[in-house]
Chains A and B, each alone.
Chain A
Protein backbone atom coordinates (compact mmCIF):
# COMPACT_ATOMS: atom_id res chain seq x y z
CA UNK A 1 0.00 0.00 0.00
CA UNK A 2 1.24 3.44 -0.91
CA UNK A 3 -0.34 5.41 1.96
CA UNK A 4 3.13 6.05 3.44
CA UNK A 5 4.48 7.51 0.25
CA UNK A 6 1.25 9.36 -0.45
CA UNK A 7 1.53 11.14 2.88
CA UNK A 8 5.19 11.90 2.20
CA UNK A 9 4.20 13.43 -1.15
CA UNK A 10 1.68 15.73 0.56
CA UNK A 11 4.21 16.67 3.27
CA UNK A 12 6.78 17.53 0.59
CA UNK A 13 4.63 20.61 -0.10
CA UNK A 14 5.02 21.79 3.49
CA UNK A 15 4.13 20.80 7.09
CA UNK A 16 0.57 19.58 7.71
CA UNK A 17 -1.78 18.31 10.44
CA UNK A 18 -3.03 14.72 10.36
CA UNK A 19 -6.59 15.76 9.57
CA UNK A 20 -5.38 18.00 6.75
CA UNK A 21 -3.42 15.08 5.27
CA UNK A 22 -6.51 12.93 5.19
CA UNK A 23 -8.57 15.59 3.41
CA UNK A 24 -5.87 16.26 0.84
CA UNK A 25 -5.22 12.56 0.25
CA UNK A 26 -8.87 11.99 -0.61
CA UNK A 27 -9.03 15.13 -2.75
CA UNK A 28 -6.13 13.81 -4.84
CA UNK A 29 -7.41 10.29 -5.33
CA UNK A 30 -11.11 11.04 -5.47
CA UNK A 31 -13.50 9.08 -3.34
CA UNK A 32 -11.77 6.03 -4.82
CA UNK A 33 -9.45 5.60 -1.90
CA UNK A 34 -11.13 6.58 1.36
CA UNK A 35 -8.74 6.87 4.26
CA UNK A 36 -9.80 6.94 7.90
CA UNK A 37 -8.08 9.24 10.35
CA UNK A 38 -6.81 6.25 12.35
CA UNK A 39 -4.87 5.01 9.31
CA UNK A 40 -3.35 8.45 8.92
CA UNK A 41 -2.08 8.60 12.50
CA UNK A 42 -0.84 4.98 12.49
CA UNK A 43 1.06 5.68 9.28
CA UNK A 44 2.45 8.96 10.63
CA UNK A 45 3.80 7.25 13.75
CA UNK A 46 5.51 4.59 11.63
CA UNK A 47 6.98 7.27 9.38
CA UNK A 48 8.21 9.03 12.52
CA UNK A 49 9.73 5.79 13.84
CA UNK A 50 11.58 5.36 10.53
CA UNK A 51 12.83 8.94 10.64
CA UNK A 52 10.95 9.98 7.50
CA UNK A 53 8.79 12.63 9.19
CA UNK A 54 9.26 14.76 12.31
CA UNK A 55 6.47 16.01 14.58
CA UNK A 56 6.43 19.64 15.72
CA UNK A 57 5.14 21.09 18.99
CA UNK A 58 1.52 20.50 20.00
CA UNK A 59 -0.58 23.63 19.50
CA UNK A 60 -3.15 24.86 22.04
CA UNK A 61 -5.84 22.60 20.50
CA UNK A 62 -3.58 19.56 20.93
CA UNK A 63 -2.82 19.27 17.20
CA UNK A 64 0.60 18.28 15.93
CA UNK A 65 2.11 19.51 12.68
CA UNK A 66 4.28 16.98 10.82
CA UNK A 67 7.19 17.83 8.51
CA UNK A 68 9.06 15.68 6.03
CA UNK A 69 12.73 14.93 6.83
CA UNK A 70 15.64 14.67 4.37
CA UNK A 71 15.35 10.85 4.62
CA UNK A 72 11.63 11.25 3.89
CA UNK A 73 12.37 13.24 0.73
CA UNK A 74 14.83 10.56 -0.38
CA UNK A 75 12.20 7.83 0.21
CA UNK A 76 9.61 9.82 -1.79
CA UNK A 77 12.13 10.30 -4.59
CA UNK A 78 12.89 6.56 -4.60
CA UNK A 79 9.18 5.67 -4.68
CA UNK A 80 8.37 8.02 -7.55
CA UNK A 81 11.25 6.73 -9.66
CA UNK A 82 10.52 3.01 -9.09
CA UNK A 83 8.06 1.34 -11.51
CA UNK A 84 5.24 -0.68 -9.93
CA UNK A 85 5.55 -4.40 -10.68
CA UNK A 86 2.62 -6.71 -11.36
CA UNK A 87 3.34 -8.82 -8.28
CA UNK A 88 2.73 -5.78 -6.04
CA UNK A 89 -0.91 -5.79 -7.08
CA UNK A 90 -3.62 -7.92 -5.52
CA UNK A 91 -4.78 -10.99 -7.40
CA UNK A 92 -7.79 -10.57 -9.63
CA UNK A 93 -10.80 -12.60 -8.49
CA UNK A 94 -12.41 -12.50 -11.92
CA UNK A 95 -9.39 -14.14 -13.54
CA UNK A 96 -9.44 -16.89 -10.93
CA UNK A 97 -13.21 -17.31 -11.31
CA UNK A 98 -13.01 -17.81 -15.07
CA UNK A 99 -9.98 -20.11 -14.82
CA UNK A 100 -11.80 -22.22 -12.25
CA UNK A 101 -15.02 -22.25 -14.29
CA UNK A 102 -13.09 -23.54 -17.31
CA UNK A 103 -11.27 -26.13 -15.21
CA UNK A 104 -14.52 -27.33 -13.62
CA UNK A 105 -16.10 -27.46 -17.11
CA UNK A 106 -18.87 -25.08 -16.13
CA UNK A 107 -20.66 -23.05 -18.83
CA UNK A 108 -18.45 -19.98 -19.02
CA UNK A 109 -20.48 -17.88 -21.49
CA UNK A 110 -23.14 -16.73 -19.00
CA UNK A 111 -20.36 -15.88 -16.53
CA UNK A 112 -18.69 -13.73 -19.17
CA UNK A 113 -21.92 -12.04 -20.24
CA UNK A 114 -22.98 -11.25 -16.68
CA UNK A 115 -19.55 -9.80 -15.91
CA UNK A 116 -19.54 -7.76 -19.10
CA UNK A 117 -22.85 -6.13 -18.24
CA UNK A 118 -21.78 -5.51 -14.63
CA UNK A 119 -18.47 -3.98 -15.71
CA UNK A 120 -20.31 -1.81 -18.24
CA UNK A 121 -22.52 -0.47 -15.43
CA UNK A 122 -19.35 0.37 -13.48
CA UNK A 123 -17.95 2.11 -16.55
CA UNK A 124 -21.16 4.12 -16.91
CA UNK A 125 -20.82 5.27 -13.30
CA UNK A 126 -17.18 6.23 -13.84
CA UNK A 127 -18.05 8.28 -16.92
CA UNK A 128 -20.88 9.95 -14.99
CA UNK A 129 -18.41 10.84 -12.23
CA UNK A 130 -16.05 12.25 -14.83
CA UNK A 131 -18.78 14.41 -16.36
CA UNK A 132 -19.63 16.01 -13.03
CA UNK A 133 -18.01 19.42 -13.01
CA UNK A 134 -15.53 20.30 -10.30
CA UNK A 135 -13.37 17.18 -10.28
CA UNK A 136 -9.72 18.20 -9.94
CA UNK A 137 -6.94 17.16 -12.32
CA UNK A 138 -5.63 14.45 -9.95
CA UNK A 139 -9.12 13.05 -9.42
CA UNK A 140 -9.76 12.95 -13.18
CA UNK A 141 -6.56 10.99 -13.72
CA UNK A 142 -7.60 8.48 -11.05
CA UNK A 143 -11.04 8.09 -12.68
CA UNK A 144 -9.41 7.73 -16.07
CA UNK A 145 -7.18 4.97 -14.71
CA UNK A 146 -10.24 3.06 -13.50
CA UNK A 147 -11.92 3.59 -16.88
CA UNK A 148 -8.92 2.13 -18.69
CA UNK A 149 -8.88 -0.85 -16.30
CA UNK A 150 -12.58 -1.55 -16.84
CA UNK A 151 -12.04 -1.19 -20.57
CA UNK A 152 -9.18 -3.68 -20.46
CA UNK A 153 -11.39 -6.09 -18.55
CA UNK A 154 -14.08 -5.81 -21.25
CA UNK A 155 -11.55 -6.51 -23.97
CA UNK A 156 -10.22 -9.48 -22.06
CA UNK A 157 -13.79 -10.84 -21.64
CA UNK A 158 -14.35 -10.47 -25.41
CA UNK A 159 -11.12 -12.36 -25.97
CA UNK A 160 -12.14 -15.15 -23.55
CA UNK A 161 -15.51 -15.50 -25.27
CA UNK A 162 -13.96 -15.69 -28.72
CA UNK A 163 -11.36 -18.25 -27.64
CA UNK A 164 -13.79 -20.42 -25.69
CA UNK A 165 -16.39 -20.39 -28.49
CA UNK A 166 -13.74 -21.65 -30.86
CA UNK A 167 -12.50 -24.38 -28.52
CA UNK A 168 -14.18 -27.82 -28.97
CA UNK A 169 -13.78 -28.67 -25.28
CA UNK A 170 -16.01 -25.84 -24.09
CA UNK A 171 -18.55 -26.38 -26.86
CA UNK A 172 -18.96 -29.93 -25.70
CA UNK A 173 -19.84 -28.81 -22.20
CA UNK A 174 -22.36 -26.34 -23.56
CA UNK A 175 -24.08 -28.92 -25.78
Chain B
Protein backbone atom coordinates (compact mmCIF):
# COMPACT_ATOMS: atom_id res chain seq x y z
CA UNK B 1 0.00 0.00 0.00
CA UNK B 2 1.24 3.46 -0.79
CA UNK B 3 -0.36 5.35 2.09
CA UNK B 4 1.43 7.03 4.98
CA UNK B 5 0.35 5.10 8.03
CA UNK B 6 -0.92 7.12 10.99
CA UNK B 7 0.78 4.59 13.24
CA UNK B 8 3.43 2.05 12.36
CA UNK B 9 5.09 -0.65 14.46
CA UNK B 10 8.23 -2.02 12.84
CA UNK B 11 9.71 -5.20 14.29
CA UNK B 12 8.45 -4.07 17.69
CA UNK B 13 9.55 -6.21 20.62
CA UNK B 14 8.77 -5.63 24.27
CA UNK B 15 10.47 -7.62 27.00
CA UNK B 16 9.57 -7.16 30.65
CA UNK B 17 12.39 -7.95 33.08
CA UNK B 18 15.57 -9.75 32.05
CA UNK B 19 17.52 -12.97 32.46
CA UNK B 20 15.58 -16.20 32.89
CA UNK B 21 12.61 -14.28 34.30
CA UNK B 22 12.23 -12.15 31.16
CA UNK B 23 8.74 -12.09 29.70
CA UNK B 24 8.47 -11.53 25.96
CA UNK B 25 5.19 -9.64 25.74
CA UNK B 26 5.63 -8.78 22.07
CA UNK B 27 8.01 -10.34 19.56
CA UNK B 28 8.89 -8.57 16.33
CA UNK B 29 5.43 -7.25 15.44
CA UNK B 30 4.92 -5.34 12.18
CA UNK B 31 1.67 -3.43 11.92
CA UNK B 32 0.45 -0.31 10.16
CA UNK B 33 -2.84 1.52 10.47
CA UNK B 34 -3.60 4.16 7.85
CA UNK B 35 -6.07 7.03 7.83
CA UNK B 36 -9.56 5.67 7.26
CA UNK B 37 -8.58 2.20 8.39
CA UNK B 38 -10.06 0.16 11.23
CA UNK B 39 -7.81 -2.64 12.41
CA UNK B 40 -8.91 -5.09 15.09
CA UNK B 41 -6.54 -7.08 17.26
CA UNK B 42 -7.72 -10.36 18.74
CA UNK B 43 -5.98 -12.86 20.96
CA UNK B 44 -6.32 -14.65 24.27
CA UNK B 45 -5.28 -12.93 27.49
CA UNK B 46 -1.51 -12.75 27.67
CA UNK B 47 -1.15 -12.74 23.87
CA UNK B 48 0.23 -9.19 23.89
CA UNK B 49 -2.85 -7.17 22.89
CA UNK B 50 -2.54 -4.53 25.61
CA UNK B 51 1.22 -4.23 25.14
CA UNK B 52 0.65 -3.63 21.44
CA UNK B 53 -1.90 -0.91 22.15
CA UNK B 54 0.35 0.75 24.76
CA UNK B 55 3.27 0.81 22.33
CA UNK B 56 1.11 2.19 19.52
CA UNK B 57 -0.04 5.05 21.74
CA UNK B 58 3.36 5.86 23.22
CA UNK B 59 2.30 4.83 26.73
CA UNK B 60 5.12 2.31 26.69
CA UNK B 61 8.32 2.00 24.65
CA UNK B 62 9.54 -1.05 22.70
CA UNK B 63 12.65 -2.89 23.93
CA UNK B 64 13.71 -3.01 20.28
CA UNK B 65 12.13 -2.03 17.00
CA UNK B 66 10.40 1.24 16.19
CA UNK B 67 7.03 2.93 16.65
CA UNK B 68 6.10 5.87 14.44
CA UNK B 69 3.04 8.08 15.01
CA UNK B 70 2.07 10.62 12.35
CA UNK B 71 5.57 10.37 10.89
CA UNK B 72 7.38 10.94 14.19
CA UNK B 73 9.55 8.08 15.49
CA UNK B 74 8.76 7.81 19.20
CA UNK B 75 12.17 6.44 20.21
CA UNK B 76 13.86 9.78 19.67
CA UNK B 77 11.49 11.70 21.94
CA UNK B 78 12.00 12.79 25.55
CA UNK B 79 9.28 11.86 28.03
CA UNK B 80 7.91 15.40 27.84
CA UNK B 81 7.85 15.41 24.04
CA UNK B 82 6.19 12.01 24.06
CA UNK B 83 3.47 13.25 26.41
CA UNK B 84 2.87 16.24 24.15
CA UNK B 85 2.63 14.02 21.06
CA UNK B 86 0.18 11.73 22.83
CA UNK B 87 -2.07 14.64 23.79
CA UNK B 88 -1.95 16.12 20.31
CA UNK B 89 -2.32 13.00 18.18
CA UNK B 90 -3.64 10.05 20.16
CA UNK B 91 -7.07 9.40 21.64
CA UNK B 92 -7.99 6.53 23.92
CA UNK B 93 -11.27 4.76 24.61
CA UNK B 94 -11.36 2.17 27.35
CA UNK B 95 -14.00 -0.15 28.71
CA UNK B 96 -14.62 1.93 31.83
CA UNK B 97 -13.24 4.75 33.98
CA UNK B 98 -13.63 6.74 30.81
CA UNK B 99 -15.30 9.88 32.09
CA UNK B 100 -14.87 12.12 35.10
CA UNK B 101 -18.19 11.91 37.00
CA UNK B 102 -18.13 15.48 38.32
CA UNK B 103 -17.76 17.00 34.83
CA UNK B 104 -20.51 17.26 32.20
CA UNK B 105 -20.17 15.47 28.86
CA UNK B 106 -18.94 18.67 27.20
CA UNK B 107 -16.46 19.40 30.02
CA UNK B 108 -15.08 15.86 29.78
CA UNK B 109 -14.42 16.38 26.07
CA UNK B 110 -12.91 19.85 26.70
CA UNK B 111 -10.52 18.75 29.44
CA UNK B 112 -7.64 17.26 27.41
CA UNK B 113 -7.81 20.19 24.97
CA UNK B 114 -7.60 22.70 27.80
CA UNK B 115 -4.65 20.77 29.26
CA UNK B 116 -3.09 21.19 25.86
CA UNK B 117 -3.40 24.98 26.18
CA UNK B 118 -6.53 25.56 24.12
CA UNK B 119 -8.74 28.38 25.52
CA UNK B 120 -11.95 27.33 27.25
CA UNK B 121 -14.19 29.02 24.72
CA UNK B 122 -12.58 27.32 21.76
CA UNK B 123 -12.35 23.99 23.62
CA UNK B 124 -16.09 24.16 24.28
CA UNK B 125 -16.79 24.94 20.64
CA UNK B 126 -14.69 21.94 19.59
CA UNK B 127 -16.34 19.75 22.21
CA UNK B 128 -19.86 20.60 21.05
CA UNK B 129 -18.84 19.88 17.44
CA UNK B 130 -17.26 16.55 18.43
CA UNK B 131 -20.32 15.57 20.47
CA UNK B 132 -22.63 16.47 17.59
CA UNK B 133 -20.52 14.29 15.29
CA UNK B 134 -21.06 11.27 17.54
CA UNK B 135 -24.77 12.04 17.81
CA UNK B 136 -24.94 13.16 21.45
CA UNK B 137 -27.32 16.05 21.85
CA UNK B 138 -27.19 16.44 25.64
CA UNK B 139 -23.74 17.97 26.17
CA UNK B 140 -24.54 19.40 29.60
CA UNK B 141 -25.52 16.15 31.25
CA UNK B 142 -23.29 14.39 33.74
CA UNK B 143 -21.99 10.88 32.99
CA UNK B 144 -24.37 9.18 35.45
CA UNK B 145 -27.31 10.80 33.66
CA UNK B 146 -26.28 9.06 30.42
CA UNK B 147 -26.70 5.45 29.27
CA UNK B 148 -23.68 3.18 28.79
CA UNK B 149 -23.80 3.68 25.03
CA UNK B 150 -24.04 7.47 25.39
CA UNK B 151 -21.05 7.49 27.76
CA UNK B 152 -18.98 5.65 25.14
CA UNK B 153 -20.09 8.27 22.61
CA UNK B 154 -18.70 10.97 24.86
CA UNK B 155 -15.46 9.00 25.30
CA UNK B 156 -15.09 8.66 21.52
CA UNK B 157 -15.81 12.37 21.03
CA UNK B 158 -13.16 13.20 23.62
CA UNK B 159 -10.66 10.85 21.98
CA UNK B 160 -11.03 12.60 18.65
CA UNK B 161 -11.54 16.25 19.67
CA UNK B 162 -9.04 18.67 18.18
CA UNK B 163 -6.81 17.36 15.42
CA UNK B 164 -6.28 13.87 16.72
CA UNK B 165 -6.95 11.11 14.23
CA UNK B 166 -5.40 8.06 15.91
CA UNK B 167 -7.89 6.33 18.14
CA UNK B 168 -6.86 3.40 20.32
CA UNK B 169 -9.78 1.45 21.72
CA UNK B 170 -9.32 -1.23 24.38
CA UNK B 171 -12.47 -3.36 24.76
CA UNK B 172 -14.72 -0.30 24.22
CA UNK B 173 -17.83 -2.51 24.16
CA UNK B 174 -16.95 -4.21 27.45
CA UNK B 175 -20.11 -4.17 29.52
CA UNK B 176 -22.57 -3.18 26.78
CA UNK B 177 -25.36 -5.34 25.36
CA UNK B 178 -25.00 -6.31 21.70
CA UNK B 179 -27.20 -3.61 20.09
CA UNK B 180 -25.36 -0.92 22.09
CA UNK B 181 -22.02 -2.55 21.34
CA UNK B 182 -22.92 -2.49 17.64
CA UNK B 183 -23.71 1.22 17.96
CA UNK B 184 -20.24 1.87 19.37
CA UNK B 185 -18.68 0.01 16.45
CA UNK B 186 -20.89 1.86 13.99
CA UNK B 187 -19.60 5.07 15.48
CA UNK B 188 -15.94 3.98 15.34
CA UNK B 189 -16.53 2.91 11.75
CA UNK B 190 -18.03 6.29 10.90
CA UNK B 191 -15.07 8.12 12.47
CA UNK B 192 -12.79 5.89 10.36
CA UNK B 193 -14.69 6.69 7.21
CA UNK B 194 -14.23 10.37 8.13
CA UNK B 195 -10.44 9.86 8.11
CA UNK B 196 -9.48 8.54 11.55
CA UNK B 197 -7.22 5.54 12.09
CA UNK B 198 -8.61 3.15 14.67
CA UNK B 199 -6.80 0.31 16.40
CA UNK B 200 -9.33 -1.79 18.28
CA UNK B 201 -8.53 -4.48 20.81
CA UNK B 202 -11.43 -6.81 21.48
CA UNK B 203 -12.03 -10.41 22.47
CA UNK B 204 -15.43 -10.47 20.77
CA UNK B 205 -15.34 -11.55 17.16
CA UNK B 206 -18.69 -9.90 16.35
CA UNK B 207 -17.08 -6.50 16.97
CA UNK B 208 -13.73 -7.36 15.39
CA UNK B 209 -15.69 -8.16 12.22
CA UNK B 210 -16.39 -4.44 11.74
CA UNK B 211 -12.70 -3.94 10.96
CA UNK B 212 -11.08 -3.75 7.54
CA UNK B 213 -8.44 -6.12 8.84
CA UNK B 214 -8.38 -8.48 11.80
CA UNK B 215 -5.03 -9.45 13.26
CA UNK B 216 -4.68 -12.49 15.53
CA UNK B 217 -1.97 -12.30 18.19
CA UNK B 218 -0.54 -15.36 19.86
CA UNK B 219 2.40 -15.48 22.26
CA UNK B 220 3.33 -11.92 21.30
CA UNK B 221 3.43 -12.62 17.57
CA UNK B 222 0.97 -12.06 14.73
CA UNK B 223 -0.31 -15.59 14.08
CA UNK B 224 -2.61 -14.68 11.21
CA UNK B 225 -4.55 -11.86 9.61
CA UNK B 226 -7.70 -11.68 7.50
CA UNK B 227 -5.66 -9.70 5.00
CA UNK B 228 -3.14 -12.46 4.36
CA UNK B 229 -2.11 -11.22 0.91
CA UNK B 230 -1.13 -7.83 2.29
CA UNK B 231 0.85 -9.29 5.16
CA UNK B 232 3.01 -11.50 2.97
CA UNK B 233 3.56 -8.68 0.48
CA UNK B 234 5.27 -6.61 3.16
Contact = CB atoms under 8 A, between A and B. Distances in A.
B44 A158 contact: yes
A1 B59 CA distance: 55
- The majority secondary structure among interface residues of chain A is helix
Contact size class for B? 10 to 19
- The majority secondary structure among interface residues of chain B is mixed
Contacts of B214: 117, 120, 124
A131 B190 CA distance: 11
B205 interface: yes
A72 B112 CA distance: 65
Given A113-B216, A116-B216, A158-B44, A121 B206 contact: no
Nearest to A123: B209
A52 to B, nearest CB: 37
B206 A120 contact: no
Interface in A42-93: none
Interface in B198-225: 204-206, 208-211, 214, 216, 223-225
Contacts of A113: 216, 223-224
B36 to A, nearest CB: 15
Contacts of A116: 216, 224
B63 interface: no
Contacts of B225: 117
A123 B226 CA distance: 11
A119 B208 CA distance: 12
A117 B216 contact: yes
Given A154-B205, A162-B44, A121 B226 contact: yes
A113 B214 CA distance: 13
Contacts of A126: 209
Interface string A105-132: 0000000011011011101101100010
A123 B205 contact: yes
B100 interface: no
Contact size class for A? 20 to 34
Given A150-B205, A162-B44, A117 B224 contact: yes
Most buried by B among A117, A120, A155: A120
A24 interface: no
A162 B108 CA distance: 41
A151 B205 contact: yes
Interface string B177-207: 0000000001001000000000000001110
A121 B214 CA distance: 9
Interface of B: 44, 186, 189, 204-206, 208-211, 214, 216, 223-226, 228
Interface of A: 113-114, 116-117, 119-121, 123-124, 126-127, 131, 147-148, 150-151, 154-155, 158, 162
Ranked 4 nearest A-B pairs via Cβ: A123-B209, A154-B205, A127-B209, A124-B209
